[in-house]
Amino acid sequence: MRVFMAMTDVGADPCMIRLMPSGRESLCRPGQTLLDAAIRSGMTVPYGCRHGTCASCKAKVLEGDYELMPRVSEFALMSFERDEGYILMCSTLPQGDMVVEVDEEDVEPGIEIFPITDFRAEIVSNVAVTPDIHVLRLKLKQPGDVVYTAGQYFEFNIPGLPETRAYSMATTYSCGNTMEFHVKRVPQGVGSNFLCDLVKGASVTGSGPYGRMQLGSRERNLIFVAGGSGLAPIKALVEKVFSEDFRKEAWLFYGARTGKDLYLVPEWVHMAEKYPNFHFIPALSNKDDEKPWNGEEGYIADVVSRKMAGIENAHAFLCGPPIMIETTLKSLYKLGLYSSDISYDEF
> Is residue 12 located within the same domain as residue 65?
yes
Strand partners, 99: 18, 63
Domain identity same for 14 and 57? yes
Task: Provide the pairing of β-strand 203-210 with 179-184.
Answer: unpaired
Residues 226 and 336 in one domain: yes
SS3 212: coil
Rounded to whole angstroms, how far apart are CA atoms 303 and 287?
Answer: 14
Residue 304 lies in a domain: yes
In a domain, 14, yes or no: yes
Domain check: are 56 and 145 in the same one? no
Assess whether 341 and 244 both reside in one domain: yes
State the CATH number of the domain containing residue 272: 3.40.50.80
Instruction: Choose among 226, 183, 209: nearest CA to 346.
Output: 226
Segments forming the whole domain that contains residue 319:
221-346
Per-residue pLDDT of the chain (347 residues; tens, 9 = 90+): 233 333 334 446 899 999 999 899 999 999 899 999 998 888 888 888 888 888 889 999 999 999 999 999 888 899 999 999 999 999 999 999 999 999 876 666 667 788 899 999 999 999 999 999 999 999 999 999 999 999 999 999 999 888 889 999 999 998 878 999 999 999 999 999 999 999 999 999 999 998 888 887 788 999 999 999 999 999 999 999 999 899 999 999 999 999 999 999 999 999 999 999 999 999 999 877 667 888 899 999 999 999 999 899 999 999 999 899 999 999 999 999 999 899 988 87
Q: Are residues 230 and 321 in the same domain?
A: yes
The answer to whether residue 315 is domain-embedded is yes
In a domain, 106, yes or no: no
Domain assignment present for residue 168? The answer is yes
pLDDT reported for residue 3: 32
Task: Give the side-chain half-sphere CA count within 13 A for 282.
Answer: 23
Whether residue 112 is contained in a domain is answered as no
**pTM for this prediction:** 0.84
Q: Are 299 and 257 in contact (CB under 8 A)?
A: no
DSSP states along 282-304? EEESS--TTS---SEES-HHHHH
For residues 148 and 192, membership in a common domain is answered with yes
How many other C-beta atoms lie within 10 A of the C-beta of residue 147?
11
Q: Could you tell me if 312 and 227 lie in one domain?
A: yes
The crossing angle, in degrees rounded to 10, of helices 300-307 and 322-334 is: 20
pLDDT of residue 12: 64
Quick one: 30 and 59 in the same domain?
Answer: yes
Residue 194 is which amino acid?
A: F
Evaluate whether residue 245 is within a structural domain. Answer: yes
Domain boundary among 151, 183, 210: 210
How far CA 290 is from CA of 141, 286, 334, in Å, comes to 47, 12, 35
Residue 285 and residue 313 in one domain: yes
Residues 342 and 226 in one domain: yes
Q: Supply φ then ψ for residue 301, to 5 degrees.
A: -60, -40
Domain count for the chain, please give it. Answer: 3
In angstroms, rounded to a whole number, what is the distance separating the alpha carbons of residues 285 and 103?
41
Residue 142: strand pairing partners: 120
User: Which CATH number covers residue 129?
Assistant: 2.40.30.10
The CA-based dihedral angle spanning residues 98, 44, 55, 67, taken in that order and rounded to the nearest 10 degrees: 20
Residues 238, 342, single domain; the answer is yes
Neighbours of 279 (CB within 10 A): 15
Position 128 in a domain: yes
CATH number, domain containing residue 19:
3.10.20.30
